[in-house]
Structure 1
Amino acid sequence: MFVLATALVALDQLTKQLVVRALPLGGQEIALALGFSLTHVRNSGAAFGMLRNFDLEVLGFHIDGTFMLGLLSGIVALGLFVYMLRGGARQPRLVRVALGMVLAGAIGNMIDRLRLGYVTDFIHFSSGSFSFPVFNVADMCVVIGAGLLVIASFARPTGADSGRVSTGVRAPHPTGLEDFPELPPLGGRTTTE
């Protein structure tokens, strides 16, 4: 988990540095393939530009979107880090990968917010009149990681991830119905002999 998260944070920071050095801010987009292009924008909001105009006054302190998002990213990253240290290794592989990706995304964008006050975004997708907000590697990590967590929530454990722990005790039945008697099939008759 931590190796994956570290590698993805490094990739995120490297790609952002390459964009800052190679593409002028707000300059012309460089077309790639399949509707993707590269551009250089600064994002003071959350993923895909959300909360860009957040502004709050609390007890005389001014809190802008950049500070709030940096704080939230730090809390999420710290929470995931502690969770992964305390029990993440017992999770199925898919969950560990997903958590590593979300952690990497939170840390990648938190670094930018705390260091620069904004996040460098550079990947743009558009097709016809549809234009998706510009994003970066950290945003992709969060979205893909969250998607994998949703998929993992529907997956049944198999093999090494089957719910067995080192004590040999089986994990509870996933439905929680292991203590209830077997019900007859729907629409069928049961006979007792």
Structure 2
Amino acid sequence: MTSLFTETGLRWLWLTIICLFADQVTKQLVATNMDLYQSIDILPFFNITYVHNPGAAFSFLADQGGWQRWFFTAIAAIASIVFIVWLAKTPKQQKLLSVAFALMLSGAVGNLIDRVLFGYVIDFIDFYGFGYRFPAFNIADSMIFIGAALMILDSFKNGEPNNKATNTNA
């Protein structure tokens, strides 16, 4: 069991825990100190705006009758299990991929907690400019995005570092 946590991507679970903690603490700070839909101007292009999102990314399906709560809860739970399995199967040498899975796991679990406890996700990061307002999001959403970007970046790597293809038939 110890080798599972030292020889695989599971060694990055500490990162998952830190990001999950940051997500939950910031959401609760916003929820306890702000009124729903209250907005605090921070920069000319950024506000802290407290909103509830019963849907998925960009409020997809938010206006449905409530069935989406359990649908997205199930998706987040399944995704979390998949990320844990992938972390367990990823060799420790694949650091970038392990970090990607750990970040995506923290985001999936962070939003899963919200959906189970409240029936919606707490969003508060609000960017806007040039006549456009980006949908509000949270730390968990950011971790999912960064993790996915790192996973894509990792896919462009050609094999393992220091693993050069050689032609032994020459």
| TM-score normalized by the length of structure 1 | 0.75
Percent identity for Structure 1 against Structure 2: 33
Provide the residue aligned with 1:96 in structure 2: 98
User: What is the distance in 2 between the residues matched to 1:146 and 1:154?
Assistant: 13
Higher relative contact order (CA 8 A, sep 6+): 2
Q: Which residue identity lines up with residue 21 of structure 2 in the other structure?
A: A
- Compared CA separation, residues 128 and 84, structure 1 to 2 (3 A): same
Provide the residue aligned with 1:36 in structure 2: 46
Provide the residue aligned with 1:136 in structure 2: 138
Provide the residue aligned with 2:26 in structure 1: 15
- Compared CA separation, residues 133 and 95, structure 1 to 2 (3 A): same
The DSSP-based 3-state class of the residue aligned with 2:158 is coil
User: What RMSD, in angstroms, separates the aligned Cα atoms of the two structures?
Assistant: 2.3
Q: Which residue identity lines up with residue 112 of structure 1 in the other structure?
A: D
Q: Is the 8 A contact 2:86 2:101 kept in 1?
A: no
User: What is the distance in 2 between the residues matched to 1:89 and 1:4?
Assistant: 17
The DSSP-based 3-state class of the residue aligned with 1:89 is coil
The DSSP-based 3-state class of the residue aligned with 1:134 is coil
Once the two structures are superposed, what CA deviation does each residue of 1:72-108 show, in whole Å capped at 9, x if it has no partner? Answer: 00000011112212x2234521111111110000000
Once the two structures are superposed, what CA deviation does each residue of 1:35-93 show, in whole Å capped at 9, x if it has no partner? Answer: 111011010011231221345xxxxxxx71111000000000011112212x2234521
- State the structure with more CA Rg: 1
The DSSP-based 3-state class of the residue aligned with 2:135 is strand
Q: Which residue identity lines up with residue 108 of structure 1 in the other structure?
A: G
Q: Which residue identity lines up with residue 33 of structure 1 in the other structure?
A: L
Q: Which residue identity lines up with residue 149 of structure 1 in the other structure?
A: M
- Segments of 5+ residues of structure 1 without an aligned counterpart are 56-62, 164-169, 183-193
The DSSP-based 3-state class of the residue aligned with 2:43 is coil
- Segments of 5+ residues of structure 2 without an aligned counterpart are 1-11
- Compared CA separation, residues 90 and 44, structure 1 to 2 (3 A): same
Provide the residue aligned with 2:60 in structure 1: 50
The DSSP-based 3-state class of the residue aligned with 2:109 is helix
Q: CA deviation at 1:116?
A: 0.8
Q: Which residue identity lines up with residue 152 of structure 1 in the other structure?
A: D
